[in-house]
């Protein structure tokens, strides 16, 4: 008798199992817990995905109710359960690993079982009394894992992107603000790590801002355009077996209302069920942003190198002691952490690409990996962007005097004089300056190659930093 109070007996295709009576999940979730202990990244770690899944289940139940396949009592109980999940409750009831075989069936059944048991209690029944409301027959009515799982993934990704965009915008603004702060600081530009021609530190930071703006625009436009089309109603392979003609249309209409997203049915449900191209596109956009952010981090590490024997144009905020053996050493830990985060996102993109390619015939069984890695990349990129903005970009300082001194001591400044002295003369001067450790400007003055006033005009920021305006 005591055992019966602690556990309940549930049955599935493979037999019977005792399930803890405290658990809202059932036998199929229990098997998934036992089968897949791979990453320790549980479904519960991605509440946005659970929220999206609950919205899908609510929309499907409402479509079935509208078509008179689900009683009002059952619909209202399923709706109640879904609303609880959307509100963030019962997260601990989703303990299965994000990495799983079965094309997401374990996840779908985890959701079905939890919704069913919440709904049963709402109706005044005990958990597991599926004769009154069944995870498959009622919660999963007119559905397959193969249409609700990718639909929930798409919807969750739209939510994740919505959360990410403001943080990327904030980082762009920080770069813009620094570009204004550093607008008048003359410095040496470099190509292939060699002195090139002068620029301002403000121009350098403005370029960081502009390159991220491009990514922001692509994310804002391409992602909604591609992810809004759902295969909901396609069921097993996209043919819509076990549904009525209007079911898919009703389900999408309800899901659009519930999620407050403009969603549509995919043009070809068979194609949409098997093709992972939209996920590859999103991953490539995240990889593109990660690549740029990593390059920017590389630049900041180089520009802050030193403090005595490096470039030392920038001073990053000291965040922690840099060495257990070298006293006084402070490392660029925030750009380094950004680099590492970006490498992880790049590796996720490869995993997503391989998984997308590995689809066979009418289904891609690797969808769990695609979902896991996309959610992980978006979470990681968002956290990294917040860190980068607050702990690096907002606090970075310029060593202005040092920047300017390096310009006028550089051999690269000879490029500005090339139109006036000719390539042969400037090459001779550059070679001699390098070999004899002389200052270019001192050599020009010693040889009286240009009047002082003209020299000063040529080397003014106005002349060096912008294209010349024709006199005509």
> Which residues form the catalytic set?
323
Percent composition of the chain: helix, strand, coil (DSSP 3-state, to 5): 60, 10, 30
User: Which tokens go with 372?
Assistant: 């896991």
Measured CA to CA, the distance from residue 160 to residue 156 in angstroms comes to 6
Measured CA to CA, the distance from residue 456 to residue 127 in angstroms comes to 86
Are 286 and 378 within 8 A, CB to CB? yes
Measured CA to CA, the distance from residue 312 to residue 404 in angstroms comes to 12
Residue whose structure tokens are 């289940």 = 57
Are 145 and 68 within 8 A, CB to CB? no
Q: Which residues pair with 399 in a beta bridge?
A: none
Measured CA to CA, the distance from residue 372 to residue 97 in angstroms comes to 10
* 128-to-18, 24, 119 alpha-carbon distances in Å: 11, 9, 11
Q: Compute the residue count for the chain.
A: 472
Q: Identify the DSSP state of 306.
A: -
């Amino acid at each position: 008798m005591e055992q019966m109070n602690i556990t309940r007996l549930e049955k599935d295709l493979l037999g019977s199992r005792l399930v803890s009576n405290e658990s809202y999940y059932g036998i199929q979730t229990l098997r998934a817990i036992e089968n897949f202990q791979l990453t320790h990244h549980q479904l519960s770690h991605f509440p946005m995905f659970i929220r999206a899944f609950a919205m899908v289940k609510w929309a499907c139940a409402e479509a079935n109710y509208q078509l008179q396949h689900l009683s009002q009592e059952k619909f209202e109980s399923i709706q109640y359960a879904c609303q609880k999940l959307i509100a963030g409750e019962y997260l601990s009831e989703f303990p299965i690993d994000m990495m799983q075989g079965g094309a997401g069936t374990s996840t779908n059944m985890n959701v079905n079982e939890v919704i069913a048991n919440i709904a049963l209690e709402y109706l005044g029944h005990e958990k597991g009394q599926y004769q009154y409301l069944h995870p498959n027959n009622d919660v999963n009515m007119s559905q397959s894992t193969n249409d609700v799982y990718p639909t929930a993934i798409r919807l969750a990704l739209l939510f994740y992107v919505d959360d990410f965009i403001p943080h990327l915008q904030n980082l762009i603004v920080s770069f813009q603000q620094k570009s204004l702060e550093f607008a008048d600081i003359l410095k040496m530009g470099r190509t292939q790590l060699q002195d090139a021609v002068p620029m301002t530190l403000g121009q350098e930071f403005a370029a960081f801002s502009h390159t991220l703006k491009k990514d922001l625009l692509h994310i804002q436009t391409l992602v909604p355009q591609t992810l809004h089309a759902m295969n909901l109603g396609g069921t097993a392979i996209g043919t819509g077996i076990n549904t009525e003609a209007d079911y898919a249309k009703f389900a999408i209409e309800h899901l659009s209302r519930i999620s407050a997203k403009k969603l549509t049915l995919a043009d070809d449900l068979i194609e949409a069920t098997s093709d992972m191209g939209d996920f590859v596109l999103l991953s490539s956009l995240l990889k593109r942003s990660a690549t740029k952010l990593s390059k920017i981090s590389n630049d900041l590490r180089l520009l802050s190198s030193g403090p005595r024997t490096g470039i030392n144009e920038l001073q990053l905020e000291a965040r922690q002691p840099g060495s257990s053996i070298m006293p006084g050493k402070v490392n660029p830990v925030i750009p380094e952490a950004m680099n590492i985060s970006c490498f992880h996102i790049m590796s996720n993109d490869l995993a997503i690409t391989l998984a997308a390619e590995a689809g066979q015939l009418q289904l891609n069984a690797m969808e769990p990996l695609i979902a896991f890695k996309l959610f992980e990349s978006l979470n990681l990129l968002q956290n990294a962007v917040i860190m980068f903005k607050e702990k690096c970009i907002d606090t970075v300082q310029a060593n202005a005097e040092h920047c300017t001194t390096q310009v006028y001591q550089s051999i690269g400044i000879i490029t500005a004089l090339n139109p006036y002295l000719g390539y042969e003369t400037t090459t001779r001067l550059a070679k001699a300056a390098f070999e004899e450790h002389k200052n270019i400007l001192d050599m020009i003055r010693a040889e009286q190659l240009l009047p002082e006033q003209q020299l000063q005009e040529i080397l003014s920021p106005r002349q060096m930093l912008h294209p010349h305006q024709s006199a005509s």
